[in-house]
Amino acid sequence: MRVLLIGGGGREHALAWRLVRDGADVIAAPGSDAIAELARTAAIDPAGTGELIELARRERVELAVVGPEQPLVDGLADALRAAGIPTFGPSAAAARLEGSKADAKAFMRRHEIPTAAAELVRDPADLSAALRRFSQPPVVKADGLAAGKGVTVASSFAEAEQAARACLERDRFGAAGRQVVLEQRLTGQEVSLFAITDGTRFALLAPAQDHKRLGDGDAGPNTGGMGAYAPAPVFDSDVRERALASIVAPTLAGLRAEGRPFVGVLFVGLMIDADGLPQVIEYNCRFGDPETQAQMFGLRTPLLGTLVDAAHGQLRDDELVGDPAAVVGMAAAGYPDTPGRGDVIPDLAEVTGLLWCFCSPWLSLPLLGPVM
């Protein structure tokens, strides 16, 4: 089967590796030097909708898989489907769960999905009063897409105010930060839950945990993810049952009821409290990065058939079986704010085992060699 994989980062490299192992003929757009070792690549930007459709038609693509969130929020999956190309990825309307945190919060309130209390702030003049309504420093989230860097887990009210004003007054994240969500801070263990879905039925990938802070000891700024492992032990059978019943099933049902069924991978960021009760931290509309690297390495169930079934509305409720796996991230100096580019990682031949190294801009390299 010929698959068009859209994207070129570490997540797409992991997906390409898995799909090729499943027997797919993969074309990645734009791909990367690393992906080119596995599959064909085409130098087309994910924003180039017309060029991607032309490529898919010319190559007689049987399935398009959209990796990054921005093209999904911008409606790429809608355009591909309208052109008659079977597509794994949600519509723009469904992808607003990730594209707007304010939209996601309103959706959860409408459908009684457990999540933290929150306030939306658009006007800097309203910020001080909004902060005073929290008993503890809130988490500050830019409303729109900010490449995983738009969240500040503030340790003080002063830090929360500074982060919010950086968005509202100093355009730190541009249009994505023109409004911010202040959210009650939840405590417990975070879990990344991934449900591949055709809009009604779903199949679960191994639940994962990623490390978001830049430094050891949970220090430094939030990043797009410095490493991950799967499965997460905290996601036991009791937590699983609660999460599916109170979060995943009502989310999919709510989207169907609102006329925006979700076809793709619903990525739910969960906080599991000390009593094993899950709440939603955020929704994402695509595979995670770096969680996907660990999940694809450990996966034993073929992925390709599951994606095809989801794209055609023929998915069976299931779980994708996998072995434990982990990934550790490498980042260029200055990441996440102003990462350097073009640095060389020396002595790769001296690294042992299969290791995913991903550095700005999230290029993954599978490495083999002797131990040092």
pLDDT level of residue 15 (50, 70, 90 thresholds): very high
Instruction: Kindly state whether residues 63 and 6 are assigned to the same domain.
Output: yes
pLDDT level of residue 351 (50, 70, 90 thresholds): low
Give pLDDT, residue 332: 83
Give pLDDT, residue 336: 83
Please say whether the beta carbons of 63 and 80 come within 8 A: no
Give pLDDT, residue 371: 26
Residues composing the chain: 372
How far is residue 28 from each of residues 7, 138, 293, measured CA to CA in Å? 7, 40, 17
Host domain of residue 144? 117-183
Other beta carbons within 10 Å of 312: 13
Closest CA to 234 of 204, 206, 268: 206
pLDDT one-digit tens code per residue, 68-104: 999 999 999 999 999 999 999 999 999 999 999 999 9
Comparing 150 with 359, the larger pLDDT belongs to 150
DSSP string over 205-224: PPPBEE--EEETTTEEEE-S
pLDDT one-digit tens code per residue, 158-191: 999 999 999 999 999 999 999 999 999 999 999 9
- What percent of the chain is modeled with pLDDT above 70? 93
Amino acid at 189: Q
Give pLDDT, residue 338: 83
Query: What is the pLDDT averaged over residues 108-130?
Result: 97
Give pLDDT, residue 28: 98
pLDDT over 90 (residue 361): no
Residue 109: helix, strand or coil by DSSP? helix
Residue 327: helix, strand or coil by DSSP? strand
Output the domain CATH number for residue 48. 3.40.50.20
Instruction: Kindly state whether residues 304 and 211 are assigned to the same domain.
Output: yes
- What percent of the chain is modeled with pLDDT above 90? 78
- Tokens 């591909």, residue located: 80
Q: Residue 153: inside a domain, yes or no?
A: yes
pLDDT over 90 (residue 242): yes
3-state helix vs strand vs coil in the chain, percent to 5? 30, 25, 40
Q: Residue 227: inside a domain, yes or no?
A: yes
**Count of structural domains, the chain:** 4
Instruction: Kindly state whether residues 6 and 53 are assigned to the same domain.
Output: yes
Please say whether the beta carbons of 86 and 1 come within 8 A: no
Give pLDDT, residue 349: 60
- Quote the tokens at residue 1: 């089967």
Instruction: Kindly state whether residues 212 and 280 are assigned to the same domain.
Output: yes
pLDDT over 70 (residue 363): no
Q: For all residues of the chain together, what is the average pLDDT?
A: 91
pLDDT level of residue 147 (50, 70, 90 thresholds): confident
For residue 191, the cross-strand partners are 270
CA distance 169 to 243: 38
CA distance 226 to 102: 26
- Quote the tokens at residue 176: 């994505």
Q: Residue 101: inside a domain, yes or no?
A: no
Query: What is the pLDDT averaged over residues 19-37?
Result: 96
pLDDT over 90 (residue 148): no
R_g (Cα) of the chain, nearest Å: 20
- Quote the tokens at residue 28: 């990645």
Give pLDDT, residue 313: 96
Query: What is the pLDDT averaged over residues 30-41?
Result: 94
Q: Residue 162: inside a domain, yes or no?
A: yes
**φ and ψ of 118, to 5 deg:** -150, 160
Pairing of strands 202-204, 25-30: unpaired
Instruction: Kindly state whether residues 171 and 209 are assigned to the same domain.
Output: no
pLDDT over 80 (residue 360): no
How far is residue 299 from each of residues 16, 89, 229, 244, measured CA to CA in Å? 13, 20, 12, 21
Instruction: Kindly state whether residues 174 and 136 are assigned to the same domain.
Output: yes
pLDDT level of residue 149 (50, 70, 90 thresholds): confident
pLDDT over 80 (residue 105): yes
Residues in Cβ contact with 216 at an 8 Å cutoff, skipping those fewer than 6 apart:
none
Say if residue 217 is exposed, middle or buried (CB neighbours under 10 Å; 0-12, 13-18, 19+).
exposed
Please say whether the beta carbons of 1 and 332 come within 8 A: no
Last residue of one domain, picked from the residues 89, 109, 126: 89
Give pLDDT, residue 359: 36
Instruction: Kindly state whether residues 334 and 289 are assigned to the same domain.
Output: no
Give pLDDT, residue 188: 96
Instruction: Kindly state whether residues 206 and 302 are assigned to the same domain.
Output: yes
CA distance 128 to 131: 5
- Quote the tokens at residue 273: 């409290």
Instruction: Kindly state whether residues 305 and 211 are assigned to the same domain.
Output: yes
CA distance 39 to 24: 9
pLDDT level of residue 350 (50, 70, 90 thresholds): low
Instruction: Kindly state whether residues 198 and 310 are assigned to the same domain.
Output: yes
Instruction: Kindly state whether residues 128 and 245 are assigned to the same domain.
Output: no
Query: What is the pLDDT averaged over residues 211-228?
Result: 83
Amino acid at 286: R
Give pLDDT, residue 293: 93
Give pLDDT, residue 193: 98
CA distance 321 to 203: 10
- Quote the tokens at residue 142: 């830019």
Please say whether the beta carbons of 196 and 310 come within 8 A: yes
Closest CA to 204 of 234, 244, 165, 159: 244
Give pLDDT, residue 221: 82
Query: What is the pLDDT averaged over residues 39-46?
Result: 97
